[in-house]
Amino acid sequence: MKIAVFAGDGIGPEVTQEAVRVLKALGLPGLELVEGDVGGAAWRKHGHPLPEATLEIARAADAILFGAVGDFECDGLERHLRPEQAILGLRKELGLFANLRPARVFAGLESHSALRPEVAGAIDLLIVRELNGDVYFGEKGIDDLPGGGRRGWDMMSYTDAEVRRIAHVGFKAAQGRNGKLCSVDKANVLETSQVWRDTVIEVAAEYPDVELSHMYVDNAAMQLVKNPGAFDVIVTGNLFGDILSDQASMCVGSIGLLASASMAVGTKGLYEPIHGSAPDIAGKGLANPMATILSAAMLLRHSFGLEAEAARIEAAVAKALADGIFGGDLGGSYGTAAIGDAVLERL
């Protein structure tokens, strides 16, 4: 099993190092870790945020563990040289079309949520967001109007093939969890959503063991705050997923604990914490590595089918949290290495 490790910028290298320690501690047979440069770190060394050598490592790997990219000193550079291009380029190059974001409140952390503790405590959901289509990638433009003024426009579109592909990811994820899939759209107003809904219903025939429901996005936003415990897996388009996944993260309330996966066709995937490079705390050993450690657990589950090992890591993190091992993001005083140690001890 070949895993590319792209630590990147800011707190990226610190948090990634702890996740690598955890992966190594599992004693997985045939584990091979290959490091590569991305982001501002790569630009400094090679003059490009996503050098060809890094792309080659990514192509040859089964999965990628990604830290974070972001570098103030690159602010003035042309767009294609900015650190963020590393993640956008990898998405494109590897065909990563599905973004998976679990949101869960660990026992004892209910009070960190913006929601009432009893509501927050029930959150254990997964958002599956389509990444390659929708209004972000449609035709777009800004027209000058004949009578003065301007009109901006962005074309929203989904083909049934694009919907089918992401629907399968949603149904399979639901099979691996509690068997409930909620498809979120705006089918009362949008033709895109009509194709979305029809296609999801068609795909559902292949998953008789999954209970499918449909929800309009406005209602979904409301239910995520009102009764988030009712959701298991949510599958939705790029725009709605972008908004709902950030909303769900904040319902959980701890940026240092949230992992994510971006999947291609097959099992290749890129795994990263949802937080960024956090320049304000970089290099100080203060960052909470749990989000990256949990990303490594997702990597084992989704790219290698190692459910038991993934669950072992998640249980170790949950145990550390239950024992009060809190990083600065949770108002605690544990640093990066101490949290890594605590998770390893409980593994």
24 annotated as belonging to a binding site for a ligand: no
**Quick one: which of 212, 287, 316, 339 contacts ligand ATP (CB under 6 A)?**
287
Contact indicator for 70, 276 with CB cutoff of 8 Å: yes
- Reported as type and span, the H/E element at residue 262 is strand 259-263
Separation CA 173–CA 315 (nearest Å): 19
> Using CB under 6 A, which of 95, 138, 328, 332 touches ligand ATP?
328
271 is an active site residue = no
242 counts as catalytic? yes
Annotation marks residue 136 as catalytic: yes
Q: Please report whether residue 340 would count as binding ligand ATP according to CB under 6 A.
A: no
Query: Quick one: CA dihedral 232, 238, 240, 246, positive or negative?
Result: positive
Q: Which helix (H) or strand (E) covers residue 57, if one does?
A: helix 52-60
User: Strand order of the sheet with strand 63-68?
Assistant: 32-35, 2-8, 63-68, 269-273, 259-263, 98-104, 124-130, 233-236, 180-185, 211-216
For residue 329, state whether it binds ligand ATP (rule: CB under 6 A): yes
Distance in Å, CB of 124 to Mg ion, minimum: 24
Residue 224 Cβ vs ligand ATP, minimum distance, rounded to whole Å: 21
Q: Does 347 help bind ligand ATP (rule: CB under 6 A)? A: no
Shortest spacing between CB 84 and ligand ATP, in angstroms = 8
Strands 259-263 and 98-104: antiparallel
Residue 70 interacts with which of ligand ATP, Mg ion, none, CB < 5 to 8 Å by class:
ligand ATP
- Choosing from 8, 13, 237, 276, the residue that interacts with Mg ion (CB under 5 A) is 276
Active site residues: 136, 186, 218, 242, 246
Q: What residue ranges bind ligand ATP (CB under 6 A)?
A: 11, 15, 68, 70, 255-256, 275-281, 287-288, 291, 327-329
